[in-house]
A = this chain, B = another copy of it.
Amino acid sequence: MKTVTIQDIANVANVSKSTVSRVLNGTAGVHPDKRKAILAATHKFGFQPNVVARSLANGRSLTIGVLTQNIGSPFYDAISQGVIAGLQDSTYSPIFMDGQWERTSEISAIKALIGRRVDGLLLIGGALSGNDISRICKDLPTIVIARQVPSRKLPCVFVDNVDGGYIATKYLIENGHRKIAFIQGLPQHQDAIDRFAGFCRAFKESGIQLDRRLVLDGDFTAIKAECSVNRLCESRLKFTAIFAANDASAFGARLALYRRNIGVPDEVSIVGFDDQMESAFLTPPLTTVRQPAQEMGNLASRALFDLLNGKPFKSQLLKGCLQIRESVARLKTRSNHRD
């Protein structure tokens, strides 16, 4: 069965294919009768314009390249979902390539995307430098999501991780906590570094001495956090609260405490970072810094859409906000935590 083309419906409607193209795209006025005939033929054949040919002809592929990072994190998954949703009602479709959070891999992924003549690029996280990006993406409209790339020209949509770390820690301090453990994220990861910076700032601002021994190893996974908290408990260092660099780590911490029969929040309070879906159903429900992941993807894709239509867009710094639930308790004056 031959695929039906614009020419076929032109024949049936007794017009030239230019005219068909015109009604299909609304590029110019066409006599109502002919338009009607064309539309009729279009329906009759169930005609689907060949986007590939169209792209080749006018240079726009109506495709957005999305660079993802397969790290199986609910946060990044939500961003991708947001991107898909944001593009859903536009004529653009997202095409995905994975960068594996690894420079060379990301570069070749972007090149592949460019080979497909995407009209714009959405880069979710990743390890590329601002220079890398500007060099590779040249004049392709590009928006970076979930990461701030220090470059005057690159629009980014990201949350203020320093601030997020700060408000979480401050909340614990306000609740009387002084001996607060911090579960770090991946060592080199900027988000992790920033959240820790926020943690430190809150301490400094409150004039409280930060105990370095309470800064624990982490890598954003629950299992690693569980190990670290286990070790902390065995060290017999005093602590009354834990701030985890992400919710997954908070889950790990929670489990470690559970195993040792340490009550949350009675004996130890916990704050996380992300507010992933499950966090509201932890026992007790987790107090955490909410990152609007899906909204970020959505926002970025719409912004790229604007960019493609010539409207300007400048970086957008979102603030995380503290979701207060039940995993933090005010420290009792005579602390009853284990020592």
Interface residues of chain A, those whose CB is within 8 Å of chain B, are 1, 48-53, 55-56, 61, 63, 68, 70, 72, 74, 77-78, 80-81, 84-85, 88, 93-98, 111-112, 114-117, 138-139, 222, 226, 248, 251-252, 254-255, 258, 276-278, 280-285, 294
Contacts and interface: CB of A to CB of B under 8 A. Distances in A.
Nearest to A249: B281
27 contacts: A1-B138, A1-B139, A48-B111, A48-B114, A49-B115, A50-B56, A50-B117, A56-B56, A63-B116, A74-B74, A74-B77, A80-B80, A84-B96, A85-B98, A88-B97, A93-B96, A93-B97, A95-B96, A96-B96, A248-B278, A251-B281, A252-B281, A255-B281, A255-B285, A258-B284, A282-B283, A283-B283
B93 A93 contact: no
A268 to B, nearest CB: 13
Nearest to A48: B115
A260 to B, nearest CB: 12
A102 to B, nearest CB: 12
Nearest to A116: B51
Interface secondary structure of A, over-half rule: helix
A303 B52 CA distance: 25
